[in-house]
Amino acid sequence: MALIIDKTIDTKGIEYTPGFLVEIARGNSREFRNKFTRLKKKITASGNRHRKKSDDLSELTAEQQDALLSEAYAGTVLVGWKGLNIGGKAIAYTDENAQDLLFNNDAFRNFVAEEANDLDEFLQEEKEETIKKSPAPTAGA
């Protein structure tokens, strides 16, 4: 039996500041996890080759951790925006611009992370509610 979820929201638009709308995707998507893992391996492999290899990010500096998250979020979690103006100049969404904004603005990066997590929780709750409402399978079905 295939599970059908009524609400399939992959992204949501949220106003971060008046006139600045960001498009945020699920924070735990396969695309994000794959990109994060690939980038993490690249960073940990570029470290001291005599050091024991570890998936532990605690050995990274705060700046390295921020850079890792910013690059991983750009294009997978933060997937678009409208209305970003800096110094009177409109800034178009690109993965590179997103990565720069995420890296240089802790409050914005935290906002994106929280909203992406909220979307994951909403989808999980919707899935659980759909399962509860689904009829129980009958014998021989």
**Model pLDDT for residues 35-71, shown as the tens digit of each residue:** 999 998 887 776 655 445 555 677 788 999 999 999 9
CB-facing half-sphere around the CA of 5: CA atoms within 13 A: 12
pLDDT for the residue 99 = 98
pLDDT for the residue 1 = 38
Residue ranges in the chain modelled with pLDDT below 50? 1-8, 50-51
What global pTM score does this model have? 0.74
Give the DSSP per-residue string, 44-107: HHTS-TTSPP---GGGS-HHHHHHHHHHHHBTTTEEEEE--EETTEE----HHHHHHHHHH-HH
pLDDT for the residue 110 = 95
pLDDT for the residue 58 = 75
Determine how β-strand 11-17 pairs with β-strand 89-90: unpaired
